[in-house]
Structure 1
Amino acid sequence: MAMPEQLPLVTVYIATHNRPGLLARAVGSCLAQTYPHIEIIVVDDGSAPAHAQQNQQLLQQFPEVIYRYLPKSSGAPVARNTAIELARGQFITGLDDDDEFMPQRISELVQQWHRHPGCAFLCTGYTVINEQQRRFCFARRPRVISYQQLLFANLVGNQIFTLTSSLQTINGFDPDMPSCQDYDTWLRLAAAFGDGYRIKSCSYILHQDHQSERISGSSRRESGYQLLLEKHRRFMNQAQLASHQVNQAIFNNNAFPWRAFVRLPLSQRLRVVKVLVSQRLGKLALLINRVIR
């Protein structure tokens, strides 16, 4: 078996803001990885002094974790880009401060990278833990994800695994995007370096069981989506533009655009149906829980 220093170094970046309790879980899940050669970079995006002090006290316990404090809060893209610039790993991946990795995640990704030569990036499915502590696994099916498929919808999710040099080449995340920064980055990455691949795994745990606002979701979502479309519209065909009409309606609870829906290819119609079904099931579970209580 190779010694840890003989294995490729993997950098994990974590942007955080005013959530020391959640950050502790995220960092702990990185330290618990079965893969032994990891660099963890935490960038504090201008947390309030009390929270920043808690973060520093937490990370003093783990001298192997690199911590950077940004005095002015500039948003998650700036914090992530700070980590990407500092990264020494051959590979890089991210973790939101309110989520966690399953212990085998990095090992799986490194192994799968060598099984899919030529891919620009890897991603996985994800496990959602909702307010009722119920677990749901999404996007488990392995598949190639091409740039043209990504133009229909974000089929990746909120994290990828790729070469650090690739993210650095495309200048990381766009700080001018108020939301949808991850989707914008995956589009630019695929356009520059080619297809990605989703492996058969749900090793990313996405927590929806807390009251804090997610870094990746806020009231700015709609303006971010509009900016995303302005930025990439010229690369989209009519079916892809129709897909975004449908996506916006679903995620903003607007009237469903049936005319746009019928313009979608069958594969995209099936994707939309799956999203709608999962939403309905989530609402039904919440209603049942309230009735039981």
Structure 2
Amino acid sequence: MPLVTVYIPTRNRYDLLKRAVLSCLAQTHKNLEIIVVDDGSDAVIQQQVMQLSQLDPRISVILQNEPVGACAARNRAIAIASGEFLAGLDDDDEFTPERIESLLELFQNNPTRSFVSSGYIIKTASGQILTSNKGAREIDLNALLFANVVGNQILTKTYYLRDIGGFDINLPSCQDYDTWIRLVERFGSGQRCHQTSYIVHQDHGSERISNHMRRRQGYEYLFNKHQHLMNESQKASQRFYQLLYTQRPGLLALLKAAPYSQMLVALKVYLLRKIGYDI
């Protein structure tokens, strides 16, 4: 069984972090290395985080005295990872037990892919559950330049992430999306499976790693960085998604801004927001 390194950046969210770590320990694939990078938590919290390494010898904890951001924390874990493969996990989210095993199997069945990913489940503060699963498909550069059809976490080869320089620390948001674009540009298409094996928690009061206030700057930076790769249709799609996810426009404004192919997306997101989903 190949060794898989799971990296988890965290700051001042011990209780949420512990849930994330326990979901790693519950994996059906047991050959894991779990690297927690504490990005400058308060001293009391860092003491608690250090205790996580006593739960299992597969867990290692890195403490940073000052916060440098989630991307830099991820990059530190990537630099020291021992696994042939890497998988990311946000500290407020969790894996389903079969996630690593199913993604490894998918990668082994598609060895020329640059990464593999899955659908995900969103749990909201109001107790609602939303499943995002767009089905199995190849994810090529053309598709990625229209929209982030991957999600926020993948499984890939450690060498691949190191080769592209890890995550861009200058991005205030959209760091994952930027990384997927660079992976596909460098190493070819990714592959998404039909399973939903990642749980996104919006059912807590803590700030998520990327919040609404940083999204606009992130989308603008991402667009400027990669627009040389985009055709006019892709640029229009990116402008639509920037409006969709950085503001809360009304239905008429959304439909007016949406390219024809994105009309259903605009309507779906608007209706989900009306009934309380934070997307």
TM-score, structure 1 normalization? 0.89
Cα distance, 1:225 vs structure 2: 1.2
Q: Is 1:214 the counterpart of 2:208 in the alignment?
A: yes
Cross-structure match for 2:258 = 261
- When residues 279 and 35 of structure 1 are mapped into structure 2, their CA distance, relative to the original with a 3 A threshold, is farther
- When residues 279 and 138 of structure 1 are mapped into structure 2, their CA distance, relative to the original with a 3 A threshold, is farther
Structure 1: unaligned runs, 5 residues or longer: 1-6, 287-293
Cross-structure match for 2:173 = 179
Among all aligned residue pairs of Structure 1 and Structure 2, give the percentage whose two residues are the same amino acid.
46
User: Structure 2 residue aligned with 1:27, among 4, 21, 25?
Assistant: 21
Corresponding letter in the other structure for 2:271: R
Cross-structure match for 1:129 = 123
Query: SS where residue 178 of structure 2 aligns?
Result: helix
Q: Which structure carries more strand by proportion?
A: 2
Give 1:185-200 correspondences, 5 Å limit: 185-200=179-194
User: Structure 1 residue aligned with 2:271, among 277, 280, 283?
Assistant: 280
CA RMSD, Structure 1 to Structure 2 (Å) = 1.6
Is the radius of gyration larger for structure 1 or structure 2? 1
List 4+ stretches of structure 1 deviating above 3 A.
257-260
Counterparts of 1:282 and 1:223, CA distance in 2? 22
Counterparts of 1:230 and 1:278, CA distance in 2? 25
User: Structure 2 residue aligned with 1:98, among 74, 83, 92?
Assistant: 92
Retained in 1: the 8 A contact 2:244–2:254? no
Cα distance, 1:28 vs structure 2: 0.1
Cα distance, 1:231 vs structure 2: 0.6
Retained in 2: the 8 A contact 1:126–1:140? no
1:95-154 CA distance string (max 9 Å, x none): 000000000001101111111121111010001111122222102411111011100111
Cα distance, 1:216 vs structure 2: 2.7
Query: SS where residue 66 of structure 1 aligns?
Result: strand
Query: SS where residue 248 of structure 2 aligns?
Result: coil
Q: Which moved more, 1:51-60 or 1:30-39?
A: 51-60
User: Structure 1 residue aligned with 2:237, among 240, 243, 252?
Assistant: 243
Cα distance, 1:61 vs structure 2: 2.8
Counterparts of 1:179 and 1:281, CA distance in 2? 22
Query: SS where residue 206 of structure 1 aligns?
Result: strand
Counterparts of 1:279 and 1:67, CA distance in 2? 41
- When residues 104 and 32 of structure 1 are mapped into structure 2, their CA distance, relative to the original with a 3 A threshold, is same
Cα distance, 1:183 vs structure 2: 0.6
Cα distance, 1:276 vs structure 2: 3.4
Counterparts of 1:92 and 1:207, CA distance in 2? 22
Structure 2: unaligned runs, 5 residues or longer: none
Cross-structure match for 1:3 = none
Counterparts of 1:227 and 1:123, CA distance in 2? 24
TM-score, structure 2 normalization? 0.93
Counterparts of 1:166 and 1:181, CA distance in 2? 16
Retained in 2: the 8 A contact 1:140–1:202? no
Corresponding letter in the other structure for 1:84: I
Q: Which moved more, 1:127-136 or 1:169-178?
A: 127-136
1:213-239 CA distance string (max 9 Å, x none): 111334221111111111111111110
Count of residue pairs the alignment pairs up: 274
Cα distance, 1:259 vs structure 2: 5.8
